[in-house]
Amino acid sequence: MTETPDLGAPRIWVLIEQDAGQVHPVSWELLGAARRLASELDGEATCVEAVLPGYGVRHLAAEAFRYGASRVYLLEDPVLALYRNLPYALGVSRLAQTYRPEILLIGATTLGRDLASTIATQLETGLTADCTELTIDPKLRILAATRPTFGGNLMATILCRKHRPQMATVRPRVLPLPEALPRGATGEILAVELDLREADLPVRRLRLIPGAERLNLEHAQVIVAGGRGLGGPDGLTLLRQLADLLGGIVAVTRPLVDAGWISADHQVGQTGKTVRPKLYIAAGISGAVQHRVGMGDANLILAINRDPEAPIFQIAHLGIVGDLHEVIPELIRQLQTLRA
Ligand code: FAD
């Protein structure tokens, strides 16, 4: 570390998560939130900055500037080429010990969840994991991080009063994706030496065995979702047909996951995923609040339900009152005719 840091300016940091040079969009969502938190704190006086670990990732700094970072700490080293907990955590922790950010935000992705807990342990600070909302407590002027607790029955707002940085992981898609500034937005790149050798690391990644294809429900543009009204696991076949025609992904309510009809990564809602698609078709879904919190921000919601009083119609932009076993095959038939 070459610079003597100016610790006078409070800093909010966002970890930029990338895989093979592709940034996870939650990083940009967090930069948008960091800008909002900075202005809630004290306007221009708080710096919004990004921490970018990896190898061959310098070009991504330009993107971070477009989403509002004024400085990017570039942690580039061959040992960071593929994600491993220890070198990533050591790199970010040492940086935080030098520059002492007030707040450190990380996406609640698989990588982020793994990394954030180690960083919090190394820095001996508190971490509020899997948050759904971030604000500044107006009285104490510190981070108020809200997350579901007791199995989702309560929302808890957690403050980290005594330790720094105040750390939080936030679920993808809970926060809006901010508008990017035009290309050419600039800032400062601070390249930081990691000072770690491969031989010092206890874990080596020998090869990557690809697992099941990852379901990117959070960033799907079209989602065809079903609930108990499907009547049984066979009903999912109908949803899949419609989703395939629309280039979408199938999602479900929690009872379907609990019943073992489909895996949990398809669940939308308070204890599932948060989505913001352009089109969300809700078939045989009553619209319980625990489901609505996960999909209420969709651009266009089309509800299909045989009960005209179903609460889902209160938030749907378009509604069809009818039996989904008749409505969906008809939709499929019409779409196929259009395409023929
Ligand atoms: P139901 O409420 O039973 O609704 C079925 C609907 O289908 C009804 O409106 C009915 O009119 C309609 N229907 C029936 N047959 C047909 C047909 N042939 N054609 C058309 N319509 C038909 N739920 C989630 O989804 N996600 C969560 O993350 C989640 N987290 C939870 C966390 C907690 C702590 C708790 C307590 C609950 C949670 N739930 C969650 C469950 C939630 O409260 C509801 O029970 C659930 O969302 C209801 O699912 P559903 O709409 O599929 O079923």
Q: Residues 257-281: pLDDT tens digits?
A: 999 999 999 999 988 999 999 999 9
User: Atom of ligand 1 at shortest distance to CA of 148?
Assistant: 34
Q: How far is CA 191 from the centre of its chain?
A: 27
pLDDT digits (tens, 9 = 90+) for 185-203: 899 999 999 888 999 899 9
Measuring CA to CA, how many Å separate 109 from each of 70, 160, 207?
24, 22, 22
Q: Is the peptide bond before 172 cis (omega within 30 degrees of 0)?
A: no
Examine the pLDDT at 7 and tell me if it is beyond 80.
no
The preferred substitution site among 242, 265, 291, 312 for testing ligand 1, maximizing ligand atoms within 8 Å of CB, is 291
- For the question of whether the overall pTM of this predicted structure is more than 0.90, the answer is no
For residue range 308-325, list pLDDT tens digits in order.
999 999 999 999 999 999
pLDDT value of residue 2: 43
CA distances from 181 to 58, 69, 205, 323, 336 (A): 19, 11, 37, 46, 40
CA 132 to chain CA mean position, Å:
9
**Ramachandran area for residue 146 (φ above 0: left; ψ -120 to 50: alpha; else beta):** beta
**Which residues are registered as beta bridge partners of 18?**
23
pLDDT for 8 beyond 80: no
Contacts 24+ apart (CB under 8 A), 286-289: 286/227, 286/228, 286/310, 286/311, 286/312, 287/311, 287/312, 287/313, 287/314, 287/315, 288/253
- Residue 49 structure tokens: 């900055």
273: which DSSP letter? B
Exposure class string for 162-193: b at 16+ Cβ within 10 A, else e = eebbbbbbbbbbbbebbeeeeeebebebbebe
From the CB of 274, is ligand 1 less than 6 Å away?
no
Give the model's pLDDT for residue 49.
97
Q: Cα of 52 to ligand 1 centre, how many Å?
A: 41
Q: What DSSP letter does each residue of 83-110 carry, written as one string? A: --HHHHHHHHHHHHHHH--SEEEEE-SH
From ligand 1's centre to the CA of 322, what distance in Å?
17
Beta bridge partner(s), residue 136: 143
Encode burial over 232-259: b for 16+ CB neighbours within 10 A, e otherwise.
eeebbebbebbbebbebbbbbbbebbee
Ligand 1 geometric centre to CA of 109 (Å)? 26
CA 119/CA 108 separation, integer angstroms: 14
Asked whether the predicted pLDDT for residue 208 surpasses 80, the reply is no
